Structure 1
Amino acid sequence: MNEPHQASAPATGRSTAVAAFAAVTVLFFAWGFITSLIDPLVAAVKGIFTLSDAEAQLSASAFFIAYGLMSFPAAALIARFHSVPSILTALVTMVAGCLVMLAAANLAVYPLVLAGLFMLASGITILQVAANPLAAALGDPARSHFRLTFSQTFNSFGTFLGPLIGAHLFLEGVEVKDGVAISDAVRDQALAGIDSAYFWICGLIIALILFFWVARRIVNEAVPPAPVAARAGMGELIREALSSRWALLGALAIFLYVGAEVAIGTQMALFLNSDAVWGQSDAAFGVPLLGFAMGSDGVAGVSLQEAGKAVAFYWGGAMVGRAIGSVLLARVSAAKLLVVFTAAAVLMCLYVVLVGGVGAGFVALGIGLFNSIMFPVIFTLTLERSTARAEATSGLLCTAIVGGAAIPFLVGNLSDALGYATAFILPALCYAVLCGFALAAGRARVQGAAAAITVH
């Protein structure tokens, strides 16, 4: 009589693990979607609050500065309380951030937008530190790489959808060109779109909180205990990371890469909408998939909303590039491939600066394709060469994501002074330094097999 019950137990465990993994995968999608909403949001707040480019880029700065402040505390939190309590803490923090964003949209107060974005990113920082090992643990260890890759595919899908939906909600009728003011009705509609987006995101996060609370015991049982080395204090991890030359070089590389990628993404809609690029041209609508996604309003030239939807292809290029890069990395040295991709990004940025015109819009969108492999390759090259333990090195590299706060602000100042195309000179310099990092990594000694781990 007991045999059917005993046979059903493993099946029940597998189904629960599948449900838990599905919820973790939704986390990957959610933070990708929320992060890429920054791109249309920067364009929207520039028009809604009549800001300069640099002031509008403070939205990206408020979001990404959380990585600089929260990465090591997040690692210490997870080491002490483990994955599920940390994820619940992250999700509650994100709900609070959404509520602040709702207040900002209803009160039309820009500093509240910045506060809400910082709170959202603080929660996402904890999620990024916790969710990767959790996804690896929820199932057969032999299939952990597949699960992580599958989850990250949904993260990329979220970054593709974010600009499309955000532009639809935030940018209808919004104009930011000199001498053009938006009406109160358009402003109110854009604020209502921001309110709607973060209301539904808040609902999704609350549903995830309920799921992880109900399934907390089962999920915790699937997670292996943390190794003793992972329980080092935050101060010890920081000191160890700062003592390693390659950990510092890798942190600089991550700082520049994230800064360049975010700066281009957040400026892209404004750049494409400018009269010097697509503002007075219908060329983009002649590209089948791109034109369909942008959805022409019948007016000559590319509006800010149409340009905002095109930004999805910048992030979509990164999604496609990851698939191509995965194949290439099986055949080509990671350092050599990083040299090629960073050099290509330098040349594309220089084309935008020196040539410009309608073609520069297509070239700028194509930079996303070459951004694709940079983060994971920089991460793994650094881990292989760092003399610090993996936990300390990883914490410093995650902290360096704060480059997404600093460099977009500098690029915003450049575009205010010199124009959107000329401002691409700073990302070009960032990619040039990354090319130098890749060349140096190719000549440097790997510290040992134990350090050569893959970070997803």
Structure 2
Amino acid sequence: MTQQAPQGNAQSYRSALIALTVLFFMWGLITSLNDILIPHLKALFTLSYLQAMLVQFCFFMAYFVMSFPAGFVVEKIGYKGGILVGLLVAAAGCLMFYPAAGMQSYPLFLCALFVMASGIAVLQVAANPFVTALGSPETASSRLNLTQAFNSLGTTVGPALGATFILAVAVKSASELQALSPQDLAAYNQAQVSAVQHPYLILAGVLVAIAIFIALYRLPRVGSDASDEAHDALPVRRSIWQYPHLVLGALGIFAYVGAEVSIGSLLVSVMGLPEVAGLAPDVAGHYLSIYWGCAMVGRFIGSALMQKIAPHRLLIFNALVNIVLLALAVLIQGKLAMWAMLSIGLFNSIMFPTIFSLALARLGKFTGEGSGVLCMAIVGGAIVPVLQGLGADHIGLMPSFFIPAVCFLYIAWYGFAGSRPR
């Protein structure tokens, strides 16, 4: 589906990219709010690290369940139809937070997260290959990095908003609750409920408004062309699974999303450790925005660098730097460890869009299905955080970061050898 854009379509492609950046921003904001929900729900329901990581498990498991079917849906109803379906399903998930908070039901929170993530999975399947198709294949990685930079802008804004509206309402211990009068207890419970209900009601309204705008907006039609496939695609095979660089790229997406989500989910807890920074949760939540802000800056820089440097080389370099930063954070203490962890966001930046575009290269008519496979691999965000949560409960929080380090090691290998179409 990635072909050279006709000159006459350049302006419509540019305006379509601008419209799509709004989608990237919104799902980045929604995803990063999970990092704020985890410490809030962990304290509210007195959860272990493993139980708290079920937030990410349910959210990212939706990608595994929904992405491959979404690929077929997008092929049937087109990119625009897929985007509309994704927006409306995500809005429905946001609305489910209202009863979940009102009933103070952790299982219902997890159900709401699954529904919301299902909508975002459809958005990912439709929007990522759409961006790669809006122009030359040679600049697909650069273009996807640029639009993903606005996804990172959303992930930068999300923690700051969450820290202000959710974590600012301090969760009291069981002994503190027992000391409250009935009136104070009722006021406390209402504050806890409103802290989650109001932000997600607003998000639902924004998603519906964007859906209305997209429905009225004329997106350009893109698709695969027979001559382009003959020129650009590898020899056609019977199955999408016969393209090794795609399958290995799916493992790369699994590893990257797992590492990114694990680190982001536990950063507030890391910054709260006395031996690291000893920050209160609401203060640490604001620092978390630096982690995601670095990813935004890195994607703008990466988009420019990829005009001169091969994407796979930049991928190798960034993965190796992240391994070094993780090792420093584990081996040292104090605020230097905190800043090493926050700096990882800068080098995470280009990984997802670069792996995604490298894995989709030269698939021809299988590009749509390939996008579904890659989005299924986002389930790494469900599996790896749970593994690290289990490790944190048994060997300690800081030592458990060897798990994302192994993920980055695989990504470096993928850039070195696994990404070559053959």
Q: TM-score, normalised by structure 1?
A: 0.78
After superposing the two structures, state which structure 1 stretch, 414-423 or 260-269, moved more. 414-423
Match of 1:260, as an amino acid? Answer: A
- In structure 2, the partner of 1:223 is 221
2-side partners of 1:238 and 1:316: how far apart?
Answer: 41
Q: 2:121 aligns with which of 120, 125, 136?
A: 125
Cα separation, 1, equivalents of 2:244 and 2:409: 20
Q: Deviations over 1:178-198 (max 9, x none)?
A: 999898565643431110110
Q: CA deviation at 1:438?
A: 2.4
Match of 2:49 among 47, 53, 58: 53
- 1:169–1:190 Cα contact (<8 Å) kept: no
C-alpha deviation, 1:383, in angstroms = 3.4
Checking the alignment, whether the CA contact within 8 Å between 2:356 and 2:374 is kept in structure 1 is yes
Structure-2 change in CA distance of 1:68 and 1:239 (3 Å):
farther
The residue number in structure 1 matching 2:283 is: 306
Q: Which fold has the larger relative contact order, with Cα–Cα distance below 8 Å and residues 6 or more apart in sequence?
A: 2
* Residue 315 (structure 2) aligns with: 338
The answer to whether residue 194 in structure 2 is matched with residue 195 in structure 1 is no
* 1:150–1:336 distance in 2 versus 1, CA, 3 Å: closer
Indicate the residue corresponding to 2:295 in structure 1: 318
Is 1:419 paired with 2:393? Answer: no
> In angstroms, what is the RMSD of aligned CA positions?
3.6
CA distance in 2, matches of 1:346, 1:26: 32
Compare 240-249 and 393-402 and name the one that shifted more. Answer: 240-249
**Once the 2 structures are TM-superposed, how far is the Cα of residue 274 of structure 1 from its aligned partner?**
1.7
Aligned to 2:84: 88
How many Å separate the matches in 1 of 2:237 and 2:114? 23
Cα distance between partner residues in 1 of 2:75 and 2:240: 17
SS in 1 for 2:333: coil
Structure 2 vs 1, CA of residues 83 and 37 (structure 1 numbering), >3 Å: closer, same or farther? same
1:65-114, Cα deviation, whole Å (9 max, x unpaired):
11111111111111111133322222221222112111111111011111
* Cα distance change on mapping 1:364 and 1:15 into 2, 3 Å: closer
Matched residue SS, 2:239: helix
Q: Within the alignment, does 1:438 sit opposite 2:420 as a pair?
A: no
Which moved further from structure 2: 377-386 or 410-419?
377-386
Residue pairs, 1:139-218, within 5 angstroms: 151-174=147-170, 188-213=190-215, 215=216, 218=218
Q: Which runs of 5+ in 2 are unaligned?
A: 1-9, 228-235
Which residue, out of 353, 376, 380, partners 1:399?
376
The answer to whether structure 1 residue 252 and structure 2 residue 251 are counterparts is: yes
Contact 2:159 2:286 in 1 (8 A): yes
**Alpha-carbon distance change, 436 to 387 in structure 1, aligned in 2, over 3 angstroms:** farther
2:259 maps to amino acid = A
Contact 2:146 2:300 in 1 (8 A): no
Query: Which residue in the other structure is 1:261 paired with?
Result: 260
The Cα offsets for residues 200-251 of structure 1, whole Å up to 9 and x where unpaired, read as: 01111222233334x16x44xx32466689xxxxxxx997232333322211
TM-score, reference length from structure 2: 0.83
Q: Which moved more, 1:122-131 or 1:178-187?
A: 178-187
Aligned length: 400
Whole-Å Cα distance in 1 between the matches of residues 299 and 357 of structure 2?
Answer: 15
Would the alpha carbon gap of residues 92 and 386 (structure 1) be closer, same or farther in structure 2, given more than 3 Å must change? closer
Tell me the CA shift for residue 385 of structure 1: 8.0
Cα separation, 2, equivalents of 1:178 and 1:412 = 24
Q: Any conservation in 2 of the 1:171–1:190 contact (CA below 8 Å)?
A: no
Matched residue, 2:232: none
C-alpha distance in structure 1 between counterparts of 2:133 and 2:367, whole Å: 18
Letter in 1 for 2:262: A
Q: Which protein shows a greater Rg?
A: 1
Assess, with a 3 A threshold, how the Cα gap between structure 1 residues 380 and 188 changes in structure 2: closer, same or farther: same
> Residue type matched to 1:325 in 2?
G
Aligned residues of 1:171 and 1:304 also touching (Cα < 8 A) = yes
Measured after TM superposition, the shift of residue 276 of structure 1 is 1.9
